[in-house]
Chains A and B, each alone.
Chain A
Amino acid sequence: DAKTTQPPSMDCAEGRAANLPCNHSTISGNEYVYWYRQIHSQGPQYIIHGLKNNETNEMASLIITEDRKSSTLILPHATLRDTAVYYCIVKRLTGGGNKLTFGTGTQLKVEL
């Protein structure tokens, strides 16, 4: 699975959009981009995933560049509860099973 690069930390004001970048320049054509987050001392939580089209669900939006070498997770109206470590993971949907390779992620701190 391709490797990802994320900034170690980011700050965001409550109510503002949080834009979390991820670089995955070696992504292959059959690899998806997944985002998970982990609130302190809890298990990781699935957020969203996508292949090449932008995706949106009730939690967030995922914007993938046309060349698929990078993506951005957008939390449209961040709240204090969104403070967590966010992990960007690249993996094949099939063939790779369920192995998730977590990097160090981005520590998002949402402040008043």
Chain B
Amino acid sequence: KAGVTQTPRYLIKTRGQQVTLSCSPISGHRSVSWYQQTPGQGLQFLFEYFSETQRNKGNFPGRFSGRQFSNSRSEMNVSTLELGDSALYLCASSLGRGLEQYFGPGTRLTVT
């Protein structure tokens, strides 16, 4: 069974631009969560989607948003990029809420 896939793997953007990251969960998994990892703040929870609905949200500004499609694939969007948004963005999927999560390899975003 294929693992969690994230595209693109690497991305370079300029301040003020926006970016969309994609996550395809493991087949059959209905829950997708997003995390941001930076050297200074570590791994931080962004949001969780289940059955196309946002179920939980971390402490991030409104510039960070996401959605989930009927096939459980998810996208996250960051608008008006700032230098501090440079990070590894990780997606995780699970069969359901509260179960163990399986992470993708991440998207490395660099904002210049």
Contacts and interface: CB of A to CB of B under 8 A. Distances in A.
A26 interface: no
Nearest to A97: B56
Interface of B: 4, 31, 33, 35, 42-45, 48, 50, 55-56, 58, 88, 90, 92, 94, 97-106
Contacts of A100: 33, 35, 43, 45, 92, 101
A interface residue count range (under 10 / 10 to 19 / 20 to 34 / 35 or more) = 20 to 34
A96 to B, nearest CB: 7
Given A42-B105, A43-B104, A44-B103, A96 B45 contact: no
Interface of A: 34, 38, 41-46, 49, 87, 92-104
Overall SS of chain A's interface: loop
Overall SS of chain B's interface: strand
B64 to A, nearest CB: 15
A70 B46 CA distance: 28
A99 B48 contact: yes
A60 to B, nearest CB: 13
B105 A98 contact: no
B33 A46 contact: no
Contacts of A92: 98
Contacts of A45: 103
Can you list the 8 inter-chain pairs with the closest CB atoms, starting with the nearest? Answer: A43-B103, A102-B43, A46-B100, A97-B56, A98-B48, A98-B33, A94-B98, A93-B98
A44 B48 contact: no
Contact of A43 (B42, B48, B92, B97): B92
A43 B106 contact: yes
A43 B4 contact: yes
B24 to A, nearest CB: 14
A98 B98 contact: yes
Contacts of A94: 97-98
B42 A98 contact: no
Nearest to A94: B98
A41 B107 CA distance: 10
